[in-house]
């Protein structure tokens, strides 16, 4: 006899072990976010289990021959979370800490992100558990090509379109595009985005995520009365996203007072020379040792005096242990999943406005969409056209999220999930179940 305490829902929909909501990794974090939005979904809530189960999970062995003749094996992933609104879309990361939980969560956040800005994609993500810094260029190319061949049954210009993410770039995308093209017998530029411009890439793609972070930040500043001129900004991660956002905020009159990355944390209350810092990062690989600043303890970075904080590194950086130290009025999430649900609640109680990743860093996938469209038509736009279209889409998407947040008296994260999840589940409902 069943215990009365057993949930009818859980009894009717037992989750596979790897989808366990009590798993404390990124997937568990995502499931908590879905639970928070469910009460706002109305009649679409009957489909909510769709959001809690990835459509496809592919785990692959990636064997390659190393330069010294050894055969090494790496574990790779490609997860398609939801394809109701279009082909899968999401990056591929090469990192030694990649896990299935992480890739599943990232694919789900891509579903939400794509729906939030209303581009016609579902969510997907990929990764290989590897430290690419330990590989030669030849080994990296062989790893990329073998991985692409292994996931080839899932990807394609109208099925699932990978893109750069952590430790991957235009060169990696070029290898992926070439491998897929060789395997299918025809050049398929649209199978990946974030490619070099000479191979069908889009102008403005490298800076797109950072430009989106800046655009959403400026819109929020207007709505809240925060003066950007003279505002103090702290940035975690100073690559394509954090570096671009930092430069744009500095150009708008803000002062970048602190930056942290894998090489350390630096501080200058008078404001860092962003152009010089970007040159330093380009030459040395990180912000550590920059002459125009003083080094600070990594833990102290979170308590620095600032008005705007931009976490633009990896997920899980703002936790219940450091959220209480944050003095910023606004947090703009350039990274995916940088704030845990517990930290979200702490920041909300402190009155800190959090601009969530699923809207704030959607500039990258928006310009990836532009690239994909340009590849299909073989007609390419100017960088000014791309930037103007990007800014318009980001502004309109943020305005819609802001309105939902005000109407429902919820955080911007929950509001973004309301907008996105309703779009995803409405598409699911309209398409119905086959067969």
The answer to whether 134 is a known catalytic residue is no
CATH number for the domain spanning 210: value is 3.40.50.720
Residues 184 and 214 in one domain: no
In a domain, 383, yes or no: no
In a domain, 367, yes or no: no
Look-up of token digits 């920059």 = 290
In a domain, 420, yes or no: no
Tell me if 95 sits within 8 A of 127, measured CB to CB: yes
| Exposure string over 267-287, b if 16+ CB within 10 A, otherwise e | bbeebbbbeebbebbeeeebb
In a domain, 47, yes or no: no
Domain boundary among 159, 188, 217: 188
List the domain range (segments joined by +) for residue 174: 54-188
CATH number for the domain spanning 113: value is 3.40.50.10860
Tell me if 85 sits within 8 A of 115, measured CB to CB: yes
Residues 155 and 218 in one domain: no
The tens place of each residue's pLDDT in the chain, 435 residues long, gives 444 444 444 445 666 656 665 556 889 989 999 999 999 999 999 999 999 999 999 999 999 999 999 999 999 999 999 999 999 999 999 999 999 999 999 999 999 999 999 999 999 999 999 999 999 999 999 999 999 999 999 999 999 999 999 899 999 999 999 999 999 999 999 999 999 999 999 999 889 999 999 999 999 999 999 999 999 999 999 998 999 999 999 999 999 999 999 999 999 999 999 999 999 999 999 999 999 899 999 999 999 999 999 999 988 899 999 999 999 999 999 998 899 989 999 999 999 999 999 999 999 999 999 999 999 999 999 999 999 999 999 999 999 999 999 999 999 999 999 999 999 999 999 999 999
Domain boundary among 360, 391, 422: 360
pLDDT tens digits, residue range 69-96? 999 999 999 999 999 999 999 999 999 9
Residues 85 and 184 in one domain: yes
In a domain, 403, yes or no: no
Q: Distance between CA 316 and CA 318 in Å, rounded?
A: 6
Look-up of token digits 């191979």 = 199
Residues 85 and 129 in one domain: yes
Question: Of 52, 55, 89, 125, which is the active-site residue?
Answer: 125
* pLDDT score, position 22: 59
In a domain, 376, yes or no: no
Tokens of 174: 């070029």
Residues 149 and 62 in one domain: yes
pLDDT tens digits, residue range 386-413? 999 999 999 999 999 999 999 999 999 9
Structural domains in the chain (count): 2
CA dist list (Å): 220 to 247, 296, 391, 399, 401: 18, 29, 14, 9, 11
In a domain, 396, yes or no: no
Domain boundary among 188, 216, 236: 188
Residues 81 and 120 in one domain: yes
In a domain, 28, yes or no: no
* pLDDT score, position 248: 97
pTM for this prediction: 0.91
Residues 220 and 171 in one domain: no
Residues 183 and 216 in one domain: no
């Amino acid at each position: 006899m069943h215990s009365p305490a057993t949930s009818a829902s859980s009894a009717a929909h037992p989750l596979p072990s790897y989808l366990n909501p009590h798993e404390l990794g990124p997937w568990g974090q995502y499931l908590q976010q879905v639970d928070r939005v469910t009460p706002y979904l109305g009649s679409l809530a009957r489909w909510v289990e769709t959001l809690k189960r990835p459509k496809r999970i592919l785990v692959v062995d990636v064997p390659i021959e190393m330069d010294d003749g050894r055969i090494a094996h790496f574990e790779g992933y490609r997860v398609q979370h939801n394809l109701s609104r279009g082909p899968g879309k999401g990056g591929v990361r090469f990192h030694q800490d990649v896990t299935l939980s992480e890739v599943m969560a990232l694919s789900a956040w891509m579903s939400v992100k794509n729906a939030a800005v209303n581009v016609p994609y579902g969510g997907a993500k990929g990764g290989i558990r590897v430290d690419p810094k330990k590989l030669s260029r030849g080994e990296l190319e062989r790893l990329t090509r073998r991985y692409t061949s292994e996931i080839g049954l899932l990807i394609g210009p109208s099925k699932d379109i990978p893109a750069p993410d952590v430790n991957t770039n235009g060169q990696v995308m070029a290898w992926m595009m070439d491998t897929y093209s060789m395997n299918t017998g025809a050049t398929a530029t649209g199978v990946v985005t974030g490619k070099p411009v000479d191979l069908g890439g889009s102008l403005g793609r490298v800076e797109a995520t950072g430009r989106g972070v800046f655009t959403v930040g400026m819109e929020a500043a207007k709505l809240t009365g925060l003066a950007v001129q003279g505002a103090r900004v702290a940035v975690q991660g100073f690559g394509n996203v954090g570096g671009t956002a930092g430069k744009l905020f500095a150009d708008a009159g803000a002062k970048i007072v602190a930056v942290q990355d894998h090489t350390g944390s630096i501080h200058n209350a008078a404001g860092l020379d962003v152009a010089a810092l970007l040159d330093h990062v380009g030459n040395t690989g990180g912000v550590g040792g920059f002459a125009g600043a003083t080094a600070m303890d990594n833990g102290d970075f979170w308590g620095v005096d600032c008005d705007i904080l931009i976490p633009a590194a990896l997920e899980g950086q703002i936790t219940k242990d450091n959220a209480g130290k944050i003095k910023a009025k606004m947090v703009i999430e350039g990274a995916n999943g940088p704030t845990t649900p517990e930290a979200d609640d702490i920041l909300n109680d402190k009155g800190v406005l959090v601009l969530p990743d699923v809207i704030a860093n959607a500039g990258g996938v928006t310009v990836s969409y532009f690239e994909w469209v340009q590849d299909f038509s073989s007609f390419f736009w100017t960088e000014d056209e791309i930037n103007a279209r990007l800014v318009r889409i980001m502004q309109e998407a943020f305005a819609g999220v802001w309105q939902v947040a005000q109407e429902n008296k919820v955080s911007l994260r929950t509001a973004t999930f309301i907008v996105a999840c309703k779009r995803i589940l409405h598409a699911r409902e309209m398409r119905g179940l086959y067969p």
